[in-house]
């Protein structure tokens, strides 16, 4: 039994090619931004770091400190109160 085209049935057709192209463009943009950051600040970051900065335990500790900081907490509260999709 042949199926009717999406336009005839009223179903919305998904353009996967455009979605993939858009996603690819976003990924490439992020890659280029990271590359520019590394060119501008990477050497300074490496020169000022200590070996223990790259350990798993230290990275977890730094993330916990960041999440517990007053600045992060106030930013998350503001974003939760101003985002209309979060209000029910």
Distance, CA of 68 to CA of 40 (rounded, Å): 30
For the stretch 19-43, pLDDT in tens is 999 999 999 999 999 999 999 998 8
Q: Three-class SS of residue 68?
A: helix
Could you tell me if 24 and 44 lie in one domain?
Answer: yes
Same domain, 35 and 55: no
Residue at 1 is within a domain:
no
In terms of domains, do 68 and 80 share one? yes
Question: What is the percentage of the chain residues whose pLDDT exceeds 70?
Answer: 72
DSSP SS3 for 34: helix
Question: Does the residue 7 lie in any domain?
Answer: no
Query: Can you give the pTM of this predicted structure?
Result: 0.42
Could you give the CA distance from residue 86 to residue 36 in angstroms, rounded to a whole number?
Answer: 34
Report yes or no on 28 lying in a domain: yes
Angle at 77 between CA 74 and CA 69, to 5 degrees: 35
Enclosing domain of residue 63: 50-88
Work out how many domains the chain is built from and give that number. Answer: 2
* Residue 2 in domain: no
- Residue 6 placed within a domain: no
């Amino acid at each position: 039994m042949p199926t009717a085209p999406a336009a005839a049935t009223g179903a919305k057709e998904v353009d996967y090619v455009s979605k993939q192209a858009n996603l690819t463009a976003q990924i490439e943009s992020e890659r280029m931004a990271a590359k520019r950051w590394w060119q501008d600040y990477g050497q300074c970051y490496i020169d000022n770091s200590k070996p223990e900065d790259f350990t798993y335990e230290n990275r977890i500790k730094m993330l916990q400190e960041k999440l517990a900081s007053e600045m992060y907490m106030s930013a998350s509260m503001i974003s939760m109160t101003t985002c209309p999709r979060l209000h029910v």
